[in-house]
């Protein structure tokens, strides 16, 4: 099992220094390690929010545990533990799949109950499983499949929802809702059945007496335009409401995993939480797309624009615009860049210009003096994976991560933002890995057409 204290943190890294929720970049925990909580959900206990997710690896899909991080501001995350590690055998044993953990606190028992999708590596043995713990941050005990009348629930993508009256519900792909028993350890009743075939990554929340049910289309780890339904009761009638992000944005390049209501003295912000998957580099190159949901008078929900960064006041429950601090310099104008291999200046038909390379091992090294570095890149259908390293003046590694500059359309945005550092001299190196997103699903193949890594602008905080 991972031990947070065993990781040596470079002394230049200042932890708990970020102020905004930034989407589409790796996040770093208190140890300077990428936050790995994919397909996540959040539960608040006391003053802390606990984020549970798939603790991924960078080479394949096998279950290596569910992670737990905690935060008091939803921005700075503290690694707690791998709260459900790989089991010695069984449905979450070696070489199995475990996805989308969601935790509820059972009002009847006080126990924390985690639900998850268990499967084989080919996704042909799906079952909803559950685990319990007396404490929120584990370790959880895995009990195997969740049963309904003694039967396994053979579903994959799933979520869990607790209503205002304390009743617990399991939600699954294809539009199913099941009510949980009072002890949350089994299912007692199907509430909605097969409402919409193929609807994956379900998430349910309630706002002003209306239930919202979000989910994605069925494209493996590839992004698609997610949709939603609303209803006056969990039993329905559920009304299809269409897309909630502009069609073609592919839900701002993400897949729904959860919606977190953050209630304060002045209102409630509903935080859309999505995954920007990056198979097989899901540990470090996948990113989080967390956006404040908008609601019109008639309850229509939307994400009209992509907010790269924004602030959430957790006391008032209000969110506000926030720009990532720093000055932006085009990579072509940045002084002293060291170039290895061939990088070419490229302008695409959308007018985005960058420096890019698909040559394995080619690198750009950007020297800087300051407290924070990041960069913008252009993601395109032929984008691949790049390794990012920050080194100190002595050449020691401060931090490393992987970024992906892949998108089904041409899109320019911040792709990397390092943590705050002690002011000093450093360098940032971006190296082409010669790898790309690829996924062979049951009925289709998804992936990038190239290995291009892009760098467009350098963001520097002095
Ligand atoms: C889509 C699901 O939403 C993910 O959780 C994962 O199971 C992938 N399919 C695997 O293809």
Check pocket membership of 441 for ligand 1, CB cut-off 6 A.
yes
Q: Where are the domains of the chain?
A: 18-321, 327-461
Average pLDDT over residues 145-168: 98
pLDDT of residue 6: 59
- 12 band by pLDDT with thresholds 50, 70 and 90: very high
Rounded Cα distance between 93 and 91, Å, is 6
Which of 63, 99, 126 is the pocket-test mutation for ligand 1 (most atoms within 8 Å of CB)?
99
The residue nearest atom 5 of ligand 1, judged by CA position, is 157
Token pair recorded at residue 380? 């395109």
Percent of the chain exceeding pLDDT 90 equals 95
User: In this predicted structure, what is the pLDDT of residue 18?
Assistant: 78
Closest C-alpha to ligand 1, atom 9: 220
pLDDT digits (tens, 9 = 90+) for 296-334: 999 999 999 999 999 999 999 999 999 999 999 999 999
Closest CA to 379 of 348, 343, 422, 421: 348
Q: Give the per-residue pLDDT at 382.
A: 98
> Is residue 60 pLDDT above 90, yes or no?
no
CATH 2.115.10.20 for domain 18-321, yes or no, is: yes
CB neighbours of residue 201 within 10 Å: 27
What is the pLDDT at residue 214?
A: 98
User: Is the minimum distance from the CB of 201 to ligand 1 under 6 angstroms?
Assistant: yes
340-355 pLDDT per residue, tens = 999 999 999 999 999 9
Query: Which atom of ligand 1 sits closest to the CA of residue 218?
Result: 1
Whether omega before 52 lies within 30 degrees of 0, making that bond cis, reads: no
pTM higher than 0.85: yes
Q: Residue 100 Cα, ligand 1 centroid: separation in angstroms?
A: 9
CA distances to 64, 130, 176 from 152, rounded to whole Å, are 23, 12, 14
> Ligand 1, atom 10: nearest CA belongs to which residue?
220
The answer, yes or no, to whether any atom of ligand 1 lies below 6 A from the CB of 221, is yes
- CB 292 less than 6 A from any atom of ligand 1: no
Say how far apart CA 274 and CA 271 lie, in whole Å: 10
Question: 376-405: per-residue pLDDT in tens?
Answer: 999 999 999 999 999 999 999 999 999 999
- In the reported structure, the alpha carbon of residue 151 is separated from the centroid of ligand 1 by a whole-number distance in angstroms of 23
Assess whether the C-beta atom of 39 lies below 6 angstroms from ligand 1. yes
Indicate which atom in ligand 1 lies nearest the CA of residue 61: 10
- pLDDT mean over 20-46: 95
Per-residue pLDDT, 1: 44
How many whole angstroms from 18 Cα to the centroid of ligand 1? 30
14 CA from centroid of ligand 1 (Å): 35
pLDDT band at 15 (very low <50, low <70, confident <90, very high): confident
Give the Cα separation of 2 and 263 in Å (integer): 33
Residues with Cβ within 8 Å of 307's Cβ and at least 6 positions away in sequence, in order, are 23, 291, 292, 321
Question: Cis omega (within 30 of 0) on the bond before 237?
Answer: yes
Per the listing, tokens 């404490």 go with 135
Same fold, 18-321 and 327-461: no
Residues 171-213: pLDDT tens digits?
999 999 999 999 999 999 999 999 999 899 999 999 999 999 9
Residue 151 above 50 pLDDT? yes
Class of 327-461 in CATH: mainly beta
Q: Give the distance (Å) from ligand 1 centre to CA of residue 39.
A: 9
Residue whose CA lies nearest to ligand 1 atom number 8: 220
275 lines ligand 1 (CB under 6 A): no
pLDDT in tens, 235-259: 999 999 999 999 999 999 999 999 9
Cα of 178 from ligand 1 centre, angstroms: 21
Give pLDDT, residue 422.
96
State which ligand 1 atom lies nearest to the alpha carbon of 39.
5
């Amino acid at each position: 099992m991972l031990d947070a204290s065993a990781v040596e943190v470079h002394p230049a890294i200042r932890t708990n220094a970020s102020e905004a929720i930034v989407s589409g970049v790796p996040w770093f925990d208190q140890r300077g390690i990428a936050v790995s909580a994919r397909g996540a959900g959040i539960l608040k206990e006391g003053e802390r929010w606990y984020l549970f997710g798939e603790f991924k690896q960078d080479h394949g899909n096998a279950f290596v545990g569910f992670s737990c991080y905690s935060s008091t501001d939803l921005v700075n995350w503290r690694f707690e533990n791998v709260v459900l590690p790989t089991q010695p055998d069984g449905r979450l044993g070696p070489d199995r799949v475990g996805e989308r953990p969601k935790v509820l606190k059972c009002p009847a028992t006080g126990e924390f109950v985690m639900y998850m999708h268990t499967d084989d590596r080919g996704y042909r043995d799906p079952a909803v499983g559950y685990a319990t713990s007396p404490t929120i941050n584990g370790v959880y005990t895995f009990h195997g499949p969740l049963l309904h009348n003694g039967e396994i629930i053979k579903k994959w993508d799933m979520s869990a929802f607790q209503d205002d009256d304390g009743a617990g519900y399991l939600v699954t792909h294809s539009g199913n809702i099941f009510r949980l028993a009072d002890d949350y350890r089994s299912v007692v009743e199907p509430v909605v059945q097969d409402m919409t075939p193929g609807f994956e990554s379900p998430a349910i929340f309630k706002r002003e007496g209306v239930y919202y049910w979000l989910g994605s289309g069925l494209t493996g780890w590839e992004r698609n335009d997610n949709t939603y339904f609303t209803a006056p009761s969990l039993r329905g009638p559920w009304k299809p409401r269409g897309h909630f992000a502009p069609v073609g944005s592919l839900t701002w390049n993400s897949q729904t995993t959860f919606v977190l209501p953050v209630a304060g003295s002045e209102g409630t912000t509903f935080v859309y939480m999505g995954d920007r998957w990056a198979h097989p580099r899901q540990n470090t190159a996948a990113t989080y797309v967390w956006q404040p949901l908008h609601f019109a008078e008639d309850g229509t929900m939307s994400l009209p624009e992509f907010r790269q960064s924004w602030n959430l006041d957790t006391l008032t429950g209000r969110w506000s615009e926030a720009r990532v601090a720093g000055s932006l310099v085009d990579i072509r104008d940045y002084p002293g860049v060291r170039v290895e291999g061939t990088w070419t200046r490229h302008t695409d038909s959308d007018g985005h210009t960058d420096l890019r390379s698909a040559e394995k091992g080619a690198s750009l090294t950007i020297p800087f003096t300051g407290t924070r570095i990041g960069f913008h890149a252009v993601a395109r259908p032929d984008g691949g994976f790049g390794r990012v390293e920050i080194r100190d003046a002595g050449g020691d590694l401060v931090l490393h991560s992987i970024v992906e500059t892949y998108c089904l359309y041409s899109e320019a945005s911040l792709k990397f933002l390092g943590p705050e550092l002690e002011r000093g001299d450093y360098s940032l190196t971006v190296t082409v890995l010669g790898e790309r997103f690829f996924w062979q699903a049951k009925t289709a193949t998804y992936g990038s057409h190239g290995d291009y890594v892009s760098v467009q602008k350098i963001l520097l905080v002095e």
